[in-house]
Amino acid sequence: MNIHIPTPLRAYTGGAETVSVPGATVTEVFNNLTSQYPDLKQQLFNTEGKLRSFVNVYFNDEDLRYLPEKEATAVAATDELTIIPSIAGGTDAVSPCCSCCPSL
Amino acid sequence: MLHIDYANYEALRAHGEETYPHECCGVLLGKSDAEGNHVRQIVRAGNTRTDSAHNRYNIAPIELVKIQRQARGLGLDIVGFYHSHPDHPAQWSPTDFAEAHWFGCSYVITAVEKGKAAITNSFLLTGTSEEDKKFRDQPIEIAVAEQAQQ
């Protein structure tokens, strides 16, 4: 199946935006991905082997975390995985600007 | 260096004025090379932090997936992000830093003072991991299209 790699992680896939990796489940695909590109492992997983909290993985258009079987989900060659780090931030200002914005 | 044309530069600043007093956010599509990040197109995104939109922003991951797909279709990459700081300086905050994970990408921040876009700054996220990452000030080069000769 194809895995789409976000810009910051392409340094670990030889610049490839899309890599094709075999596997019958998401776990197998990830194992094969990190075997093929070992430096990706510490970027994607913490020391306990869990996906880092800011790393989102989408199975086609579904968030892997909300799939019933999660990493055990069966995959077909035509499915796609997308790895997408989160993007967020803010000013750290503490006062509300209006009645719809509660103070932190 | 962040290279952006005047129209896109003004568009991302205008976005911050439109959403004031809330934060706006969006994605910069383009290409990267040794000279920096070159913006070809900006894509507005929704701020999911409706609980605290005046001082927080978050782009839904599924929206990012679709924007990355859009970029792929255009032969472009995600090269950065932008957001606004309503009535707050155009400097990255501890929250911006903690939530920054796109190494090599530009994080553009526009201060919007009383509804008017003021200073716009760009910061390049450098490093290779959460442990060694840093924001570096990144100069912005704004390309102004030459007017047609009459």
Strand order in the sheet with A80-85: A18-20, A2-4, A80-85, A55-59, A62-63
Which of B112, B107, B93, B111 has its CA nearest to residue B138?
A: B107
Are residues B105 and A9 in contact, defined by beta-carbon separation less than 8 angstroms? Answer: no
Q: Which residue has the higher pLDDT, B145 or A5?
A: A5
CATH value at residue A28: 3.10.20.30
Q: Domain count for chain A, please give it.
A: 1
Residue B134 has pLDDT above 80, yes or no: yes
**Count of A–B CB contacts within 8 Å?**
125
Q: What is the rounded average pLDDT for all residues in chain B?
A: 94
Sign of the CA dihedral with B142 first, then B106, A6, and B54 last:
negative
A103 assigned to some structural domain: no
A101 assigned to some structural domain: no
Task: Give the gap in angstroms from C-alpha A24 to the nearest C-alpha of chain B.
Answer: 23
Note the pLDDT of residue B150.
46
Are residues B86 and B21 in contact, defined by beta-carbon separation less than 8 angstroms? Answer: yes
Mean pLDDT of the A17-32 span: 97
A17 assigned to some structural domain: yes
Where do the structural domains in chain B lie, given as residue ranges?
2-143
Note the pLDDT of residue B75.
97
Digit-coded pLDDT (tens) for A64-94 = 999 999 999 999 999 999 999 999 988 876 5
Note the pLDDT of residue A92.
72
User: Please, what is the end-to-end C-alpha distance for chain A in angstroms?
Assistant: 43
Question: Are A86 and B61 in contact (CB < 8 Å)?
Answer: yes
**The amino acid at A87:** I
CA distances for B28 relative to A2, A72, A74, A104, B57, angstroms: 24, 34, 34, 29, 16
Digit-coded pLDDT (tens) for B22-78 = 999 999 999 999 999 999 999 999 988 888 778 888 999 999 999 999 999 999 999
Provide ipTM, 2 decimals.
0.89
- Strand locations in A22-98, DSSP E? 55-59, 62-63, 80-85, 88-89
Highest CATH level, class, for B2-143: alpha beta
Percent of chain A with pLDDT over 90: 85
Q: Where are the alpha helices (DSSP H) in B31-124?
A: 61-74, 94-98
A95 assigned to some structural domain: no
A93 assigned to some structural domain: no
A45 assigned to some structural domain: yes
Note the pLDDT of residue A95.
55
Question: Are A87 and B55 in contact (CB < 8 Å)?
Answer: no
CA separation for the pair A46, B135 (Å, rounded): 23
Task: Give the gap in angstroms from C-alpha A56 to the nearest C-alpha of chain B.
Answer: 7
- Which chain A residue lies closest to B64 (C-alpha atoms)? A84
A26 assigned to some structural domain: yes
Note the pLDDT of residue A103.
45
Note the pLDDT of residue A93.
66
* Domain encompassing residue A53: 2-85
Note the pLDDT of residue A91.
82
CA distances for B110 relative to B31, B49, B113, B116, B121, angstroms: 22, 18, 9, 10, 6
CA separation for the pair B61, B28 (Å, rounded): 15
